[in-house]
Amino acid sequence: MGLAIGNALIRQGAHVGFADLKPAPTDLSDGPGEHFYSEGDLTDESFVKQAIDSTSSRFGGLDYLINTAGVLWFDRDMSVTEMDMNVWDQVMAINVKSFALTARHSVPHLKRRGGGAMVHFSSIDATGGDVPTQDAYGASKAAVIRLAKSLAIQFAADDIRSNIILPGGTMTPMQDRWMGDEDAQKRAAGYVPLGRLGTTDDMADACLFLLSDAARYITGVELPVDGGITARV
C-alpha cells in the first residue's frame, strides 16, 4: 500500500521520502516527482528521525506523513490466551510504536510549513473480534485509531490534519494466503458487498483524497475502504 501511494504521489509531481526495513523496491515511479529512500528499522527512533530530517532537508520541507508499516503474522499471532507475548510486543512495536515515532518527528516539520496532513493505516479488524483471531494485530490497529484521533485534536490549531484509513481485505503481499489461490480469493470476495477484494490502488486513491485540499475540513475520521463490509448489520 505504501508503495502504491508513494508512486501515485510521484506521478502527480510530489517528492516522496520512503522508509522501510526492506531494500528499495525496483518499481518506484520514474516521475515527474522525485523520491528518496531510507532503509532501516521504523521502531528505531534514531533511524526515524534521520529518515524524516533527511527527507525534509532534501526536498525543502515536509507537507505529509503517510503511515503504512505493519505486520500480520497468521502463524504466530493468535489469542492472548495462547500466544507468545514476545510476539505481542513485536507487533505493537511495528504497528503502533513506528507510527508514534514518525508522528513525533514529522510534526515539527509540518508546523514549520504552516500545516499539513497525516494519514495512518489501521484496519477494519480494529472494529471487532473474529475467529480465528490475531489479537495483537487487532489491538495494535485499534491503538492506531486512538493515536491518530489524539494527533488530530492536539494539532488542529496548527492546521495539521490526521485521519485514518481502515482497509478491508486487500491483495497485497501481507495476504499471501490468497496469492495464487483463486478459490480462496473468490471465497473472501464473497463476503464483500461490492463483490471483490480491494487493491492497493483503491487505498492510494482514498489516501490521496485525505491528503488533498478537497479534504481540508476533515480531520480525526476513520474511513473504511472495504467494499462495504463494515456496513453489514
Task: Quote the CA–CA distance of 200 and 167 in Å, as a whole number.
Answer: 10
- 191 a catalytic residue: no
As a whole number of angstroms, the distance between CA 45 and CA 211 comes to: 25
The x, y and z cell numbers of residue 194, run together, are: 461490492
What is the number of H-type helices and E-type strands within the chain? 7, 6
Tell me, rounded to whole angstroms, the distance of Cα 2 from its chain centroid. Answer: 7
φ/ψ of 193, rounded to 5, equals -55, -40
Contacts of 218 (CB under 8 A, 6+ apart): 161, 163, 210
In whole angstroms, give the CA distance from residue 55 to residue 45: 15
CA trace torsion 114, 147, 225, 217 (10° rounding)? -30
State the alpha helices, DSSP H only, in 34-167: 45-59, 85-92, 98-112, 135-154
- Supply the residues annotated as catalytic: 137
